[in-house]
Amino acid sequence: MKKTLAIGLTLAAAFVVLTGFAACGHHRSHDPADLAAHVTARLDGALDDLDATPAQRQQIQAIKDRLLASAQQLHATRKADHAVALAEWDAASPDRAKLHALIDQRGDALRALAHQAVDAIADAHDVLTPDQRAKVSKKLHRFADR
């Protein structure tokens, strides 16, 4: 039952991302450069708080760059996928198999990105010292307690 629910939620989330409804009502920039700048600024602040060494900063920034590149590749396919979904909506008889395949493809891509994110977190964990990881852990626990 839990696996079915997880798969259902993943597919529902994939549909939301696929059709672009995730950004409805939000006025965020979709410019990859803006996102990269925002993420970099937040990461720089976190690394400042951790008193990260230049070598640690370089390693963690490289991890961030790899993950952002993967996310940007996935984002780049959004408009084409959205166009396919809209074309099927506008059709006299939508091709359900085509839409299901599109959702499956998008879900697989999102899952792959999530796995890359987990690997990135583990890689960053390996770069930090135990004291730095303890500081991050404290912040994560405060965030989880909200």
List pLDDT tens digits, range 64-119. Answer: 999 999 989 998 899 999 999 999 999 999 999 999 999 999 999 999 999 999 99
Residues 43 and 67: beta-carbon distance below 8 Å: no
The residue with greater pLDDT, 132 or 18, is 132
Residue 44 CA to residue 74 CA, distance in Å, equals 24
pLDDT at 29 over 70: no
pLDDT average, residue stretch 35-56: 93
pLDDT at 146: 85
Residues 33 and 125: beta-carbon distance below 8 Å: no
Mean pLDDT, the chain, integer: 84
